[in-house]
Amino acid sequence: MPAPDQARERRTLSPRLAYALVAAVIGLSLFASSTPSPLYATYRELWGFSSVVLTLVYATYAFGVLLALLLAGRVSDEWGRRPVLLVALGGLLLTSLAFMVASSVTWLFVARGLQGVATGLALGAASAALLDLHPRRDPAGVGLTNGVVSAGGMGLGVLVSSALVEYAPAPRVLPYVALFTLFAIAFVGAVLMPEPVAVRSRPRFTPQRPSIPPVVRRPFLLAALGVISSWSIGGLFLSLGPQLSATLFHTPNHLVVGLSIFALAGSGAAAQLLFGRTAPWAGAAYGSLALSLGMVLIVLSAASASEGLFWAGAIIGGGGFGVAFLGALRALSVAIPPDHRGAVMSAFYIVAYLAISVPAIIAGSVVNTLGLQTTFEIFGSVIAALALVVAFEAWRTRPVPRLVLQAT
């Protein structure tokens, strides 16, 4: 007869299924973050707010993510991955309901703010859990998984939402019903997942300066450079990409606009699969070069109203975005000590969300004054130049063979 404690032991997912679950949480979080994008034009028509207000809605989400990472970046190291994921997924379920019943721009602020906080919790805990749960404890494999689901989730969120908004009934509700269903499944999975943190303590929800152990500082610098160059273009695309593609293609069709953003994120995910074993410094360097070239082509497309240059720039820049981001993650994943995984990955996402939010917020604030074309040209050129700087700095971190002189 089994012992009473054994009989009461709860069933848990296998490590392989738990790994797939936390990877899905990362992808779903970024899927959800881009789901509202195709609906912003509809919201503006219904409730009559300006592009500045729209920028503030986006900023509310970004600052919610940063607030969660700053206040609770280490919580999953202390409290455990599973409880933090349950809280985060519960918040994302509430967010989906808030979007469904939204009846004014105030609801958008509430929903995006809550979504940002829940996403910050989910990304920090799930990224750390990937390192805990990988079947072979392979940091390179963890980096590849994280990179692919991040880029894929961001692109699919826009694409699926665009298709539902354009062709399905109840466009302001159905995308969030789909989100609610997916997050409910993930929540059940999180209830069943094993807890990989063996020693837990009471969590501390106090503002903390991001903590990077000395052994991680050099790879963290490379990771920060790679994510700055890659997520900056993502922020600019999410902010101004829909307006630019609608202008270039002369169509209000939401799916066409969604495809233009999916071209960036989808090619990023594909490039990660193709170049998944590239050395981290090379991925950050050469990916940033491709990103810079793609951004230049997109700037030229805005100046010349060329659809071909836009698609070429989105695909080339997206491939660079994916490889640079993957190089950043792989450089970092190899070096993090187990008891600092939550804190370091939260610090990584702080850099990422500053990179994706600051350009988008500033560009959205000045687009009415400067005009769409001028704004895209200025910010695109700055991001292209930044990517070149990142490529040079990443190249400088490459391992240099040491020459051994032997006496003759």
Torsional sign, CA 159, 163, 166, 168? negative
pLDDT band at 87 (very low <50, low <70, confident <90, very high): very high
| Calculated CA dihedral for residues 105, 171, 247, 375, nearest 10 degrees | 30
> Which is higher by pLDDT, 263 or 11?
263
Q: And the tokens for 282? A: 């090379």
List the one residue out of 171, 144, 324, 368 whose CA is nearest residue 234: 324
Lowest mean pLDDT among 3-17, 246-260, 310-324, 334-348: 3-17
Distance CA 144, CA 332 (A): 12
Q: Report pTM.
A: 0.82
- Which residue shows structure tokens 């010349």? 304
Residue 351 predicted with pLDDT over 80 = yes
Alpha-carbon separation of residue 262 from 152, 217, 249, 318 (angstroms): 9, 33, 15, 9
Euclidean distance between CA atoms 146 and 272, whole angstroms? 10
Using pLDDT thresholds of 50, 70 and 90, give the confidence band for residue 366.
Answer: confident
Report the distance separating Cα 298 and Cα 293, nearest Å.
Answer: 9
Chain-centroid distance of CA 349 in Å reads 8
Identify the top-confidence range among 85-89, 164-168, 247-251, 253-257: 85-89
Which domains, ranges and CATH numbers included, belong to the chain?
A: 14-194+213-396 (1.20.1250.20)
Answer yes or no: are the C-beta atoms of 232 and 292 closer than 8 Å: no
Residue 338 CA from chain centroid, whole number = 23
Which whole-number Å values give the CA distances from 162 to 18, 135, 168, 171, 406, in the listed order?
Answer: 30, 36, 10, 9, 65
How many Å apart are CA 159 and CA 50, to the nearest integer? 25
Residue 188: is its pLDDT beyond 60?
A: yes
Where does residue 331 rank: exposed (0-12), middle (13-18), buried (19+ CB within 10 A)? buried
Give the position of tokens 């939402």.
161
